[in-house]
Structure 1
Amino acid sequence: MADFLDALLGIDSDSLTWWQMSVRAVVVFIVALIIMRIGNKRIFGKQTAFDIVLGIIYGSVLSRAITGNSPFWPTLAAALVLVLLHRFLAFLAYNTEGFIGPFIKGNPVCLIRDGKLQEDKLKKHNLTENDLQEALRNGGVSSIKEVASAYLERSGDISIVKRDT
């Protein structure tokens, strides 16, 4: 059975046929779904730098298993390790104070406070007033004066809290 599986996946082959690569793609797809379930729902949901880095590396590692650029089974194991590392770092960020959480997940940045633009923060984060105006319009606000606070969130989105009227 092991020999059949090795032949099917092209494990000991110097070059893969189109059907071996196709079988590898199916196997990698199924294994990737299983590995993602071992992770947690937030892995690709929040789109913070923490999550995006995992997505890029995860895709790169798994593509190597499909194309045969790396050994098949160790590459799948590396993908599992990446997801477990992500889960562990998220656990650390949630359960520790101080440096670790903000380093892993980042911090929101206040762009507007009490209707006043924080120009130094815009400049520091390479945001123009046009970027901020777009976010205000998307939030149903036409003027900075209508805003109690606005934050550049860890995901890169701008959230707006309107003033009480």
Structure 2
Amino acid sequence: MNELFQLSAPWWVFVLRATAIYVMVMVLVRVSGKRAVGQFTPFDLVLLILIGNAVQNGINGGDNSLTGAALMATTLIALNYGVALATARSRHAEKLVEGEPVVLARDGRVFAHVLRRELVSDGDFAEALRMNNVEDVADVRLALLETNGHITVIARRDD
């Protein structure tokens, strides 16, 4: 029964491991782009499961104790809370963690190179137009790829 709670390393090792893995995964998710996060596909689910499996031993270092699990879970939740707090209070932190919206189209002109760079397919862009009741690209005043991966389309008004 004692082995359920006995740590295989000092407590701070678990905090350090969890912090390092959290930062690494956050950087990888950030680098992967907005569309990868905003448009969750079955492939993304498989990737998420595999990432969780891949980093598991990096976090726990082979420790299977309940105390270690509690330390790591608490650390990850605290880190997540800290990041949320920082992004809510600092525009610089928000920009660093979440990025900024990207202009995909303006005044009827689609920026194809931006679509490619941001991994937005023509089909996804066309779907965003349809979802916003815009029939023709010429009717687009502004189309933005938001930081959450969704595409916001603002149509031109007929005055």
TM-score, normalised to structure 1, is 0.56
Larger Cα Rg: Structure 1 or Structure 2? 1
TM-score, normalised to structure 2, is 0.58
1:70-149 pair list within 5 angstroms: 70-98=64-92, 100-149=93-142
2:4 and 2:64 in contact (8 A); partners too: no
Whole-angstrom distance in 2 between the partners of 1:138 and 1:154:
18
More helix by share: 2
SS in 2 for 1:149: strand
SS in 1 for 2:105: strand
Number of residue pairs matched by the alignment? 114
Instruction: State the Cα deviation string for residues 111-157 of structure 1 (Å, max 9, x = none).
Output: 01122111221121122322211211122211111221111111211
Show the counterpart of 2:154.
Answer: 161
Q: Which runs of 5+ in 2 are unaligned?
A: 6-35, 41-47
Q: Which has the higher contact order (CA 8 A, sep 6+)?
A: 2
Q: Which runs of 5+ in 1 are unaligned?
A: 1-5, 13-47
Q: Percent identity?
A: 25
Runs of 4+ in structure 1 over 3 Å off: none
Q: CA RMSD in A?
A: 3.4
Whole-angstrom distance in 2 between the partners of 1:142 and 1:149:
14
